[in-house]
Homo-oligomer: A and B are copies of this chain.
Amino acid sequence: MKLLRKAIRSLHSKMKREIKLKPIGIIHTPYKEPKGMPIQGKFEKGVRGIIQVFPEYQSGLKDITEFSHLILIYYFNRSKEERLIGKPFLEDQEHGIFAIRSPHRPNHIGFSIVKLENIKDNTISFSEVDILNGTPLLDIKPYVKHFDSRCNVKSGWIEKHFKNGNMPKRTKIR
């Protein structure tokens, strides 16, 4: 009986902690599979993606057209794994999941900065795409240089891949 009560309490506290989200739209891109997709949209500037924001959220898009870049927060729905250690695309060295951008992470939250190209009604066209086709979108925030750019940044294990201003050897998912 004591054990049962404990189990119920624990279940309750778990349920209380659970956070439920819903997509606000769907991201459409030319990338049907990870293979060949750039690891960051900046590395393949010509490609375009389309966001179909669900019509009930359309009024929230007012004034975003004034921004050149958007932050997209989305759900890595194709990842079925949750790892704590992983290999990034840039190298074969293992790192903690919170030191890399892998989709196979707790909560599977994805984050991209993209270039806004055009908006018509609830359809956003953007470039600098590193997102798979059919990805559920959770949020859009304006990219603000006064908030989101940092000087004196140390970028850990990633620095060596951009040494002397060079581009990394691997810029696409293999």
A-to-B contact residues, CB < 8 Å: 14, 17-24, 40, 42, 57, 59-64, 66-71, 73, 75, 84-85, 95-101, 105-107, 109, 111, 113, 136, 138-150, 152-158, 162
Contacts and interface: CB of A to CB of B under 8 A. Distances in A.
B148 A99 contact: no
The prevalent SS among residues of A at the interface is mixed
B19 A62 contact: no
A122 to B, nearest CB: 11
Nearest to A102: B141
A106 B19 contact: no
What is the total number of copies of this protein in its complex?
A: 2
Contacts of A40: 146-147
A137 to B, nearest CB: 10
Contacts of A154: 66-69
Contacts of A14: 22
Contacts of A157: 63, 66
A165 to B, nearest CB: 10
A140 to B, nearest CB: 4
